[in-house]
Structure 1
């Protein structure tokens, strides 16, 4: 199946700004944390290097549904992406995507036994995509007010990401 324009936009935004807010919900407790991911578009997933013994992996194993949020205010683009998650134990893949940033948390490098991969596979997404020009937004708001209409400030849609 070919990507829709909205699907492609989400992947492009994830590539450009891989830091996401990752939210888990386990036993009624919701936790959100910023995480820097590695986008693997060809494999339809985002990979995160994380500690095997921290909350994120434990939460994924207990409840594999996760949400990630991206926010690009300069482009007036926002997305909440529902994902399925899993832990991947693959040292070669971990070495391949290793970054200097990961070394800050794992001084022993990608062979650190506590380093693991969290894989998120997007299932669906709700997006908000509006004009990025504040002048255009102000014009649309003023025009709508004068005409007694609801302003057209872009797209809000839920899309299938599979």
Structure 2
């Protein structure tokens, strides 16, 4: 079994732009959708994503904040994170995690009406690196 720590995991996550964010719907189904981490990976267990406030994903999180993230990297490297999602509507917090690529989706930047940031605080990370695998509990 591999012995990665959170810093090692962050370095690997920086190489992966798109992950799948899974939520629980109001009828108990699990819904997944691709999301960009915007290379905002000074990883301490928190991931940040931007979406529309009126999206299905936002209403799913309002109903059940437990979510999962999955990342697929190069050469059979994968990460599965479990955690709690929080919806953030503070523009100052947006600025801390905004990248220029987001302007393609949100034309007025952090001032775009209806934008919301999703902060996911992971509590557990499971990773696979070829034949090696491991788990990191995150406080």
Structure 2 length normalisation: TM-score? 0.84
Q: Describe how 1:38-117 pairs up with structure 2 within 5 A.
A: 38-42=40-44, 44-72=45-73, 74-117=74-117
Unmatched 5+ residue regions in structure 2?
none
Q: Is the 8 A contact 1:40 1:47 kept in 2?
A: no
Aligned length: 134
Bigger relative contact order (CA 8 A; separation at least 6): 2
Q: Describe how 1:27-46 pairs up with structure 2 within 5 A.
A: 27-37=27-37, 38-42=40-44, 44-46=45-47
Within 2, Cα distance between the matches of 1:118 and 1:58? 12
Counterpart of 2:132?
155
CA-atom RMSD in angstroms: 1.8
Moved over 6 A (4+): none
Report the CA distance between 1:40 and its aligned residue: 4.4
Larger radius of gyration: 1
Q: Deviations over 1:25-54 (max 9, x none)?
A: 223211111111233435x31111111111
Q: Is the 8 A contact 2:16 2:72 kept in 1?
A: no
Structure 1 length normalisation: TM-score? 0.74
